[in-house]
Structure 1
């Protein structure tokens, strides 16, 4: 019994086109006897005579016409399957699930996501703002997490985490606040003001700032998003504290001040699973590498294992 393969379909189509075994064999680059043998074997497998052999030439029978129509469709689907497989291997199709904290939407995510969307419009992006994107990554609910500081918890050792942005602390106040117009305010001055901070900042990385009396953070108004912090400050609800990239918020009713002494915040970091070999992830990392100076050359070794990520992209240089 002969298994019908793609080559048998091509043989039959070539014979139907040239209507002659010799000419069909020549077009296929094979000898005539093997072609005749393969067509006869195909007819035995199908169980019907597909071609009439006449002195005037070789012509499809009714059964042959029906078979050839399906053969053309099957070969077309196989060609599309190859194209789809190649595109998936280059990271041009598929899905990427990204979780992020709100301040990353000020910078660098707009540039990164915009460029990635333009270069790979058929990749399905799932985007979620989360207070703790790293936890969702560890739980397998995300492919990429953007958060402040490195991932913590069980499974964190299986993640890669790279910095994509550095920040220091700034204060935001209403235009009518006494601090408005000042280039900087001190920690001592802040300690006597009602504050507006994110829950994560209040419970973790801002605690050392008010080492003498961290209770000022416990009494602070809590706002999850930098835009909400700025909005509450504009309403004279207090002095908002947030990352320096918060200065990118375009509002006429607030003013920003540096905090002295300068207080560096944990880096904005992007994390992903080290074992994730997805071409879509590799393509995304390539865009991050080009758009985030803080990453430096730390992604180069990883990207070198994913040639699809640099397909039609500028070469990556060390920095």
Structure 2
């Protein structure tokens, strides 16, 4: 039994006449009569009564037609669903990210992606770069935004592009002596109570700070450890000390804090978007398209790695 047989029976029931039904379907009347007879034989029951007043569904025919209509509707819906999934309009995308990405570019990117692809379920996981890389390699994530290029076992199978660059800044309360300064020298930080992110979450930044402080790196041993860039800013506002982090922290500005560039200017690890090289799932492709639309430079880098769309 094929879908066309179901459609023939439904059209015949709607027109209650073989000639009109055949014309509606676009075939001759004899082939339609033959197909309906074959369908009745396969079902094992008479589906239509042929009367002088028209072709009327029997009780068996009514039961068959009810199922046939639902079956065709489901088949049509299945085709629509498949097409939407193929276009990346439905499905699921699992994204790992470091907290600083919530300052930029995730607010715009996720907002646009959600508006453009409301049928895609976003699974968002805040995690350190090392953890997100391992999860990406293991297939637990579809994409990850972390600090620096992915490293470790399996990282060679990942595509990674830079989506943000940063340098070190200090943040202090408005009551702090550094408030109002455009810059603060590294030497000025050596004897301050510092607020930093934990080394296991931001290892590249922690390593960079230790290298910068040199002989005074022990200053970091007594530093206040904050969960993320948002907490660094909040603790600085409380007067706990001098917060150190990426320049995108300025996007988390509030009236009770002041930001200074650290001199000499110190570049921090790039913010990178990574995903598996062999993964071309529609939901991921749709996410990459949103990235392309929001960050032209990133789009060019993706085109160089994957080829133009």
Tell me if 1:46 matches 2:43: yes
Matches within 5 A, 1:1-319: 4-132=1-129, 133-199=132-198, 200-201=202-203, 203-300=206-303
In structure 2, C-alpha distance between the alignment counterparts of 1:135 and 1:210, rounded to whole Å: 31
Note the alpha carbon deviations across 1:134-186, whole angstroms, 9 max, x for none: 23323322111111111111010111111111111100111111111110011
Q: Contact conserved, 1:173 with 1:256, CA < 8 A, in 2?
A: yes
In structure 1, C-alpha distance between the alignment counterparts of 2:147 and 2:185, rounded to whole Å: 24
In structure 2, C-alpha distance between the alignment counterparts of 1:154 and 1:139, rounded to whole Å: 10
Note the alpha carbon deviations across 1:87-121, whole angstroms, 9 max, x for none: 11111111111111111111110000001111111
Cα deviation, residue 122, structure 1:
1.8
Segments of 5+ residues of structure 1 without an aligned counterpart are 308-319
The alignment's C-alpha RMSD in Å is 1.8
Where 1:258 maps in the other structure, the secondary structure is: strand
Cα deviation, residue 213, structure 1:
3.7
- With structure 1 as the length reference, what TM-score do the two structures score? 0.90
Where 2:179 maps in the other structure, the secondary structure is: coil
Q: Report which stretch shifted further, 151-160 or 12-21.
A: 12-21
Where 2:66 maps in the other structure, the secondary structure is: helix
Cα deviation, residue 235, structure 1:
2.1
Segments of 5+ residues of structure 2 without an aligned counterpart are none
Cα deviation, residue 236, structure 1:
2.1
In structure 2, C-alpha distance between the alignment counterparts of 1:46 and 1:204, rounded to whole Å: 75
Q: Contact conserved, 1:165 with 1:294, CA < 8 A, in 2?
A: no
Note the alpha carbon deviations across 1:162-218, whole angstroms, 9 max, x for none: 111111110011111111111001111112212111122454333332234432333
In structure 1, C-alpha distance between the alignment counterparts of 2:253 and 2:283, rounded to whole Å: 33
Cα deviation, residue 53, structure 1:
1.8
In structure 1, C-alpha distance between the alignment counterparts of 2:4 and 2:306, rounded to whole Å: 38
Which is richer in helix? 2
